[in-house]
Chain A
Amino acid sequence: MIGFDAVEKSYGGQRVLGPLTLSIPQGALCVLVGPSGCGKSTTLKMINALITPDAGTISIDGASVQSRSPQELRRGIGYVIQSGGLFPHWRVRDNIATVPRLLRWDEARIAARVSEVADIAAIDGAFLDRFPHQLSGGQQQRIGVARALAANPDIILMDEPFGALDPVTRAALQQELARLHRGTGKTIVLVTHDMDEALALGTTVVVMQAGEIVQSGRPAEILARPSNDFVRDFVGGADAMMKLLEFRKVQDIVRNGEQASGDPVPPSSTLRSALTKMIATGRTVLPVAEAGEVALGTIHIDDIVAAGKQ
């Protein structure tokens, strides 16, 4: 668990952060989101002591971050930055091996670990002997992620990791990050200014403004009950309702036992895709069924509207 307790930071007499109190549970994918200059990156960089607070404490599993040697601390925390920050003079293989080398693992163990994390981050084995500039931005960012995973840290920090990528690559890497998070159970703290990315990825979303936390909670909570106008605007105003439908499942509001004609929707699909299908087929009621199975019941447009307003 990562804990912030009354943490403050000022630059030149101007307070840019805090007092900030936050706890990030183990295994969470916590997204810090907010406009430029809201203090989200500063918050992130305090976890691995790249920035030291003026007041307050930051702890990992109860132990204060400030009391440890910064180098030793950072070697135990994965770190991914926007541009990848790969070492241009090293091959991909050596880039991934950075932290294991700093930890003085033997070369056989390093080689084994490099191919292991290359698999996890879906990096083509042929890329391992190339130099970073020979790869696309998306590939470089995969390598950045693999490098962060190399020494198997419990915590990974990501500072706008997908900010510089095109939308298609960004969506693909977001999905892979979600998969990686589920598969490894690591605690990931990610910074972004893109609310859609925060809502799509986070198990916890922390909305920040002017150095303070304005709201934190699960994505659906933030969408359904924005704490003030800033958060409401930031999640997309009226469009927030449509986004909220993505967090609700057909199975939650199915009318069991009823019959209807038309193309069935699976119970695990989102209300948003059910609504899309209704619009596309011109129906207000659709049968609910797993593909190729007997219908469980029906879903009504009135129920979707009611669910969206909750």
Chain B
Amino acid sequence: MLWQLDPAAAATISALLALLVVAAFIRDERRRASALFAAGAGLLISILLIASAAASAHLDPQQPARRISLGSGFWILLSIAVLACFQSLQRATRLWKIAPPLMLVGAIVLIIASGKLDSLSLAREFHAQRAVFVIELVRHIGLVAMAVLLASFCAVPLVVTAVYRPSARTAIFTTLNLLQTIPSIALFGLLIAPLSFLAAHVPLARAAGIGGIGATPALIALVLYGLLPLVRSADAGLRNVPMDVQESARGMGMGPREIFWKVDLPLALPALISGLRLVTIQSIGLAIVAALIGAGGLGIFVFQGIGEYALDLVLVGALPTILLAVAADALFQIALANLRTRP
């Protein structure tokens, strides 16, 4: 609680929160972004320092098993700070603007490396799981990357059909909408039976690692969920290319191929990237559930934590997932802001 903090810490946090509020009203976009970032970064570093100080103060060498958990105040302030930082980053159109956030990340790493946060139970959980954590993090990212890649490949023929064959459009969107309404756990469950059957009767499938549980059903489910946002955004992007632009392209002697590559695709690109962004973020979250059917990933910690009622273990899985999603979002936003097409 704020009033239990020493006055200096309370004053710092209040001042930074006030700066954050003021920053939100700055008219000039660039100055607003800088002020937001400064306030957010300041807040982030302050609460980490305050938490480290509090953690070392309560450290008792007599009781090594003692756990110190962070209160809700810390988490609320943390999310405000992180949100402010990412919000200010979204409009970054120059690569050098990535330098201050990198410095911030460096500062956070230094605070964590100082060892003062080590007595927090979250840190202890993390240390205990460290070896597994790296493996599961890589598995999580790999699952998401593979799902987004496969969904993109599958989306191409669907988009082409939806855009250029109006008769098939309704069928495609009805099917994809239907898929989207199936709850994820149900879809994982539905996939177990056919895939087990496949593994049992087709030796080649078993040799390729396909089975009723594991990465295969997870991947299939993530791809199926990713199709609707991808196809919908690409379809909207391509169909929103102005008619007069297409007509003048045709009238000046561009062939169908030139119109697609030089006009339709570049004009639809922002929508395509938005679709990819949506699917990536969605898959990062959904991949948590994939741990239930043995696909691994950060969900392992979440479900293990829920099972053992170890909330800090849940956080070991949940926090990196949130960070991954926010980082992916920021990357796509930066890509979108830096989008340039050449003739």
Q: Which residues of A contact B (CB under 8 A)?
A: 45, 48, 50, 70-76, 79, 81-91, 94, 97-99, 101-102, 144, 147, 157
Give the number of residues in B that approach A within 8 Å (Cβ atoms). Answer: 18
Q: Which residue of B lies closest to A102 (CB)?
A: B253
- How many pairs of residues, A versus B, come closer than 8 Å at their CB atoms? 67
**Interface-lining segment among B62-70, B240-248, B324-332:** B240-248
Given contacts A89-B267, A89-B341, contact A81 B251 (CB under 8 A): yes
Out of A71, A91, A157, which one reaches B253, CB within 8 Å? A71
The reply to whether A98 and B252 contact each other, CB–CB distance below 8 Å, is yes
B154-176 contact mask (Cβ, 8 Å, vs A): 1 or 0: 00000000000000000000000
The reply to whether B254 and A79 contact each other, CB–CB distance below 8 Å, is no
Residues of A within 8 A of B250 (CB): 50, 74
At the interface, yes or no: B255 with Cβ under 8 Å from chain A? Answer: yes
The reply to whether A102 and B251 contact each other, CB–CB distance below 8 Å, is no
Q: Cα distance A88–B245 when bound, in Å?
A: 8
Q: Cα distance A85–B253 when bound, in Å?
A: 14
Q: Which residue of B lies closest to A73 (CB)?
A: B253
The reply to whether B253 and A82 contact each other, CB–CB distance below 8 Å, is no
Residues of A within 8 A of B263 (CB): 87
Q: Cα distance A48–B245 when bound, in Å?
A: 17
Residues of B within 8 A of A102 (CB): 252-254, 258
14 contacts between A and B (CB under 8 A): A50-B250, A71-B254, A72-B253, A74-B253, A75-B253, A79-B248, A79-B251, A81-B244, A84-B244, A85-B244, A87-B248, A88-B245, A89-B266, A99-B253
Q: Give the shortest distance, in Å, between B341 (CB) and chain A (any CB).
A: 5
Q: Which residue of B lies closest to A99 (CB)?
A: B252
The reply to whether A71 and B244 contact each other, CB–CB distance below 8 Å, is no
Out of A83, A89, A98, which one reaches B244, CB within 8 Å? A83
Residues of B within 8 A of A144 (CB): 248
At the interface, yes or no: B249 with Cβ under 8 Å from chain A? Answer: yes
Q: Give the shortest distance, in Å, between A150 (CB) and chain B (any CB).
A: 9
Residues of B within 8 A of A94 (CB): 343
The reply to whether A79 and B252 contact each other, CB–CB distance below 8 Å, is yes
Residues of A within 8 A of B252 (CB): 74-75, 79, 98-99, 102, 147
Residues of A within 8 A of B242 (CB): 85, 88
Q: Give the shortest distance, in Å, between A156 (CB) and chain B (any CB).
A: 11
Q: Give the shortest distance, in Å, between B25 (CB) and chain A (any CB).
A: 29
* A-B pairs, 9 with minimum CB distance: A85-B248, A75-B253, A74-B253, A79-B251, A94-B343, A85-B244, A83-B244, A71-B253, A90-B343
The reply to whether A71 and B255 contact each other, CB–CB distance below 8 Å, is yes
Given contacts A71-B255, A75-B253, contact A87 B244 (CB under 8 A): no
Q: Cα distance A230–B267 when bound, in Å?
A: 45
